[in-house]
A = this chain, B = another copy of it.
Amino acid sequence: MRIAIDAMSGDLGSAPVVEACRHFANEHKDATLVVVGKQEELESLKDLENVEIVDARDVVKMTDSVMSVRRKKESSLVKALMMARNDEVDGVVSCGSTGAYYTAAMLFVKRIEGVSKSCLMATLPTFNGQGTCLLDVGANAENTAEQLGDFAIMGSLYCKNVRDIGNPKVALLNIGAEPHKGDEMHQEAYKLLNEMKETGKVNFVGNIEGRDILKGDADVIVTDGFSGNIALKSTEGAALIVMKAVKEGLMSSTRGKIGALIAKPAIYSVKDKFDYKTVGGALMMGFDHALVKAHGASDAQAFESAMALTYKMVENHVVDQLREGLKA
């Protein structure tokens, strides 16, 4: 298996990526890492047998417009994706800007035959520790019911093959529990998902409301890109703000500070539980290669978890599974 690594596009530069690559390459001798970036920054990987270095002189910066990928052909991100386009690698990992990454994937990487729309999938940490896959989280500003049906298939197959969930529960994000809730598209999507349940295609469990996303009752939550983006960022924002308020609350009095000092391990465990950085990033779904996006501010550990995810997707032939699943 060969995985292309974009070493340059993250907030923290190449250092954490290099560290992650060194560790991962030593642990996974059956995988070849094709590390793309400024070669002078990748020197320390040269001695590793299963690492190839590809020089790339340009970088797509976080502040660049997403369309910059059109002209930045010599960037590490575009070069890594071009290797997927040319079937030189099985998967790509980057911690670059989500928008630029997705745009470049749309421009340069083929879609799976039969998929009505590609999308972005995020795995959210949940209270029960299981996590839940939410898609689309913002690749599309609008979606059709049929597209949500495809998202349900893709999310289910991902859960089966990567998260080892036998019969993943699929829910539709909506503004109420009853089938008639939501606008016309969501009512249609409910019907379609119900039909797909009856034919055994997906294990549809009904509508889910925003307040239940983080409970972890559903393994997959399908939604249009607009609502999904709002839901993802609202939960993420609220979780971060409440944690920040807890911290400030504790630090605002001596008594709080003492209590915090004692309770530190317990408080940190919660912080880790809902830390979006630990989840391994978003996935570009519907493409004929495994395209994984690590968090922009990934440290070595976070980047390595994104690499492990890619490895598992390739090892378990997730793209082939999706191709089969979307055929019928």
Q: Which residues of A contact B (CB under 8 A)?
A: 127, 138, 141-142, 173, 175, 181-183, 186, 209-215, 225-227, 229-246, 249-250, 252-253, 255-256, 258-267, 269-270, 273-274
Considering the complex, give the chain B residue whose CB is closest to the CB of A229: B175
**CB pair A210 B182 closer than 8 Å:** no
Q: Least Cβ distance of A297 to chain B in Å?
A: 14
A175/B239 contact (C-beta < 8 A), A262-B259, A263-B259, A266-B249 known:
no
20 A-B pairs with CB atoms under 8 Å apart are: A127-B241, A141-B183, A141-B186, A175-B226, A209-B233, A210-B229, A210-B232, A210-B237, A211-B237, A213-B237, A214-B241, A230-B234, A239-B241, A242-B243, A245-B274, A252-B266, A255-B265, A259-B259, A259-B262, A259-B264
- Residues of B within 8 Å of A238, CB to CB, are 213-214, 234-239, 242
Which residues from chain B contact A182 at a C-beta distance below 8 Å? 141, 226
A257 to B127, CA, bound (A): 20
Chain B residues within an 8 Å CB radius of A265: 253, 255-256
A36–B229 Cα distance when bound, in Å, is: 43
Residues of B within 8 A of A215 (CB): 237, 241
A208 to chain B, nearest CB (A): 10
Q: In the complex the two chains form, what is the Cα distance from A247 to B265 in whole Å?
A: 13
Shortest A254–chain B CB gap in Å is: 10
Partner of A263, one of B226, B232, B235, B256: B256
| B210:A234 contact, CB within 8 angstroms | yes
* CA–CA, A186 and B210, complex, Å: 21
A173 to chain B: which residues have CB within 8 Å?
230
Contact among B183, B213, B245, B262 with A262 in the assembled complex (CB-CB below 8 Å): B262
6 more contacts with CB within 8 A, not counting A175-B226, A237-B238, are A182-B226, A183-B226, A212-B237, A215-B237, A227-B227, A263-B263
Are B266 and A225 in contact, CB atoms less than 8 angstroms apart? no
| CB <8 Å contact, B227 and A226 | yes
Q: Which of B127, B213, B240, B260 contacts A245 (CB 8 A)?
A: B127
Chain B residues with CB under 8 A of A210: 229-237
Distance of A202 from chain B, by nearest CB (Å): 21
